[in-house]
Structure 1
């Protein structure tokens, strides 16, 4: 149901994602976070795909805003096609699905919650990588929990995202 003065042309969504940190062996790929590789990190995020919590939270927010479910219902662990997939690849496919549902992406904002890696020096690179995947502005911020909870104890990294999508009018045939 829509309010008469607000017909639902603009919609927002919220997404979250959390992945466990595990030791990285020499055979493991480097940690992936916010569309970037972090080869200097001695740990990696564990998951079915590359476990990029920032990209995954952005996917969830976009899917929610467009009414398309969530990451698990679109790219579940039962689907081997997405095993090891890059977060930016999931993000690109999510945007394709959002557009196919009749929405344009206005923007996405992602906040990473964790002790490591330290995003500050690479924040601009992260925004560029995620914005390129989305085709719209993506802002990235980071925080810690001052030693509290799973992120504070260094057991994992979390991300929270919001997204704005706008209903697009179908193009008329010439």
Structure 2
């Protein structure tokens, strides 16, 4: 079953995210809650889990690594977000992450950019390795808010541990 991730609002550097699922037994609920790392203004956090025995999210003390665990039909999600200043001629934001998957996990990464009243999103499959995800911001954008959400879904059944580390963000 595919899950639908809908962005409802962006206020300051905090995004409010609500998950809806095709199945009635959805285990992840919004909004996402997080904290701000003061040295970089990076916000990170996790999203509510209605079946804690089946899914969990743990974030490292520096906020740069998240470990998502799920069992059977468990679902869990986490995010990083920040505001970036775009230099003249820049047209995209790229977020680099390292992903390690143990077990059987399905899911995706969703990179969303919000500039002025425009929101652009792109999904990327969840897989192990070093990944750079990029989304175009469009011309003449001076400030953009970005958010990378990692979602681990309910299929396939079994145990999975997904560790994601934020490596960096580049503006090109």
The two structures have a TM-score, normalised by structure 1, of: 0.35
Larger helix fraction of residues:
1
- The one of the two structures with greater contact order (alpha-carbon pairs below 8 A, sep at least 6) is 1
Larger strand fraction of residues:
2
The two structures have a TM-score, normalised by structure 2, of: 0.36
Q: Over alpha carbons, which structure has the higher Rg?
A: 1
